[in-house]
Amino acid sequence: MGEVRKLHKKLRQIENLEIKPFLTPEENVKISKKEELRVRLAELLLQLSAPQQTQGIVGDDKEKMKRQARDGLDRVLSQTPATKVPKGATQEVTRQAETPGDKTHSPAGTQPATEGPEEDTQFKTLKATWEKSGFRLRSLEGHSDIITCVIAVDNLVVSGSRDTTVKVWHVPTATEQRNLGGHSGGVTCLFAPPTEYCRRLARFLSLSDTERFVLSGSEDCYVKIWVLSTGCCVKSIYTFNAVSALTFIPEGEGHIVTGSDGGKVEVWSWESMERCQSVKEHEDSVTTLQCQGPLLFSGSADGAVSVWEVFCSDPSPLQHLHHWSSSVTGCGSQRDSAFGRLALSPRGDRVFLADGKASLKILNWRTGCVSRLANHSNIAGVTDCVSQTTGILIASCFDLATGDSTLNLFSLPQCKYLVSLTCQESPRILCFAMWLTASGGHRWVTGGRALMVWEQLPSNSKKRGDVTVRRDSHLDAPPVESDRDTEDGEESDDDSEEDYMTQDAPGTEGEHSSSWLRCILQ
């Protein structure tokens, strides 16, 4: 299995290279070897599982290679002994805080050991419903570079891209409605303030009470506030640092919170637009900021997670509660950490973490206990995004061996696997947004190299969906307690091989590239 792990690592590194905004001739040569490496991986997997079936694999038969790679992976997994579960996570001494949400007694805040018949019936019904679901896919074309962030506002989708633009799309017609050009650097993050706070700003600007606003953060160190109906920029906030994450605190007068590529968390008054707090909490880029009630969660490219309590009546609205380093979360601390990223989604005592590996981490932010939820059947998976909607946890997964992109669905709060949704030739998903339509159907938007709308078809629809619904039995296992994710160790024996990543790019271009990779994978 040593060469298989080495091929996994090289393919992972090539995928990271492809996200970089600038490539050297040597890096382009390495990328050109991707399909060759995938074919070799398929051959090895078949040799390990059934040597007699290795005949007839050809490099130009892409679909056959993908199918045989999947079959080979299944055979290897079925013949491989189960991985030993590490001991419990090291706990750090921190002040405990009481908040509403899920109250569980398991160490990492996972589901109870037993379920009643009612819960089991509800899960089976939900699973059966999703197994029969259909989705129509539509492409939104207009960006000239990677889409780094997406949000939904009513029937509109707002997307930000490395091409420095913010675009507004009308979803029912899949057309571009506005092109918001004003940033001089790539757009890294977006947020739509709640209606109440939009109304306050609209009155101050003598606009309609129904006006909506959108915030955008960029590598040019600016946060811009846009009028959604006209595309006009009504306010620019210079932050002195490249903005890598953005959110809004809907408490009191309201506050904008930004994260920088240098690890700062800063708070800005919604009324005065003045900075009222700045804390250098993280050692690396702040890649994600998420609010949950009176709490704020920040995640960094180094794998650390911080928890803050919000006191909007104080001059400094954020009070620090916990800081869990990468040694606790199991995220980050990899040799190619310059390309590290962390996305998070909080729920009660739990924080779901995606750090570019095959599994989701579940951190109990009170205790520091961590469990691992399988999001791919082997170490060739990459998890970039995680989010929640109406009792469903959704995580993206990109298969390095086949190039397929998948959305995996889990029921909440149990974290039990439901189904996987995939589309042939779908590119890697780097960001997504989701919401429910007036009829209760799901509508999602995914971004990366392509911007796609996923619209759920009615249950009685006779239209054929564009998405394949399947189940991967390897994901049925419940979360397991873990101190450190063993995925890093499974790939760490490749030191003698050529490193496909450029570690020390000369000049400012290398700094720009690594900053981008930290900023865009939120």
pLDDT above 70 (res 78): no
Separation of alpha carbons 413 and 391, rounded Å: 7
pLDDT above 80 (res 338): no
Instruction: Give residue limits of the domains in the chain.
Output: 2-80, 120-494+509-520
Per the model's pLDDT, the better-predicted residue between 37 and 161 turns out to be 161
Least confident of 103-112, 205-214, 221-230: 103-112
Mean pLDDT of 71-97: 41
- Among candidate residues 477, 381, 471, 465, the one with its CA nearest the CA of residue 423: 465
| DSSP per residue, 283-342 | SS-EEEEEEETTEEEEEETTS-EEEEEE-TTSSS-EEEEEEE-HHHH-----TTGGG---
Which token pair is 222?
A: 């600016």
Read off the pLDDT band of 238 (50, 70, 90): very high
Say how many C-beta atoms besides its own lie within 10 A of residue 422's C-beta: 17
> What confidence score (pLDDT) does residue 39 get?
84
Look up the pTM and report it: 0.81
> What confidence score (pLDDT) does residue 230 get?
94
Read off the pLDDT band of 224 (50, 70, 90): very high
Name the DSSP class of 57. Answer: -
> What confidence score (pLDDT) does residue 513 get?
39
Per the model's pLDDT, the better-predicted residue between 151 and 512 turns out to be 151
Tell me: the pLDDT tens digits for 469-492?
999 999 998 899 875 545 444 444
- Among candidate residues 249, 187, 263, 269, the one with its CA nearest the CA of residue 447: 187
Asked if 379 and 352 count as a contact pair (C-beta separation under 8 A), the reply is no
Give me the sheet containing 275-280, strands edge to edge. Answer: 243-249, 255-260, 264-269, 275-280
Domain 120-494+509-520 fold:
Methylamine Dehydrogenase; Chain H (2.130.10)
pLDDT above 90 (res 419): yes
pLDDT above 70 (res 260): yes
> What confidence score (pLDDT) does residue 462 get?
78
Mean pLDDT of 335-352: 77
* Cβ within 8 Å of residue 160, ≥6 positions away: 147, 148, 149, 150, 166, 187, 188, 189, 190, 216
> What confidence score (pLDDT) does residue 67 get?
54
Read off the pLDDT band of 314 (50, 70, 90): confident
Tell me: the pLDDT tens digits for 442-464?
999 999 999 999 999 988 887 88
Separation of alpha carbons 490 and 488, rounded Å: 5
Per cent of the chain over pLDDT 90 is 55
- Among candidate residues 370, 372, 344, the one with its CA nearest the CA of residue 358: 372
DSSP bridge partners of 278: 266
Tell me: the pLDDT tens digits for 191-221?
999 999 999 999 999 999 999 999 999 999 9
Tell me: the pLDDT tens digits for 361-417?
999 999 999 999 999 988 788 999 999 988 999 999 998 888 889 999 999 999 999
> What confidence score (pLDDT) does residue 340 get?
53
Read off the pLDDT band of 247 (50, 70, 90): very high
Mean pLDDT of 8-37: 82
> What confidence score (pLDDT) does residue 152 get?
93
Average pLDDT, the chain: 81
Q: 238-247, 426-435, 480-489 — which one is most confidently predicted on average? A: 238-247
- Report the sign of the C-alpha dihedral through residues 418, 424, 429, 433, in that order: negative
Per the model's pLDDT, the better-predicted residue between 115 and 510 turns out to be 115
> What confidence score (pLDDT) does residue 189 get?
97
Asked if 272 and 253 count as a contact pair (C-beta separation under 8 A), the reply is no
Mean pLDDT of 165-183: 93
Start-to-end C-alpha separation, the chain? 32
> What confidence score (pLDDT) does residue 317 get?
94
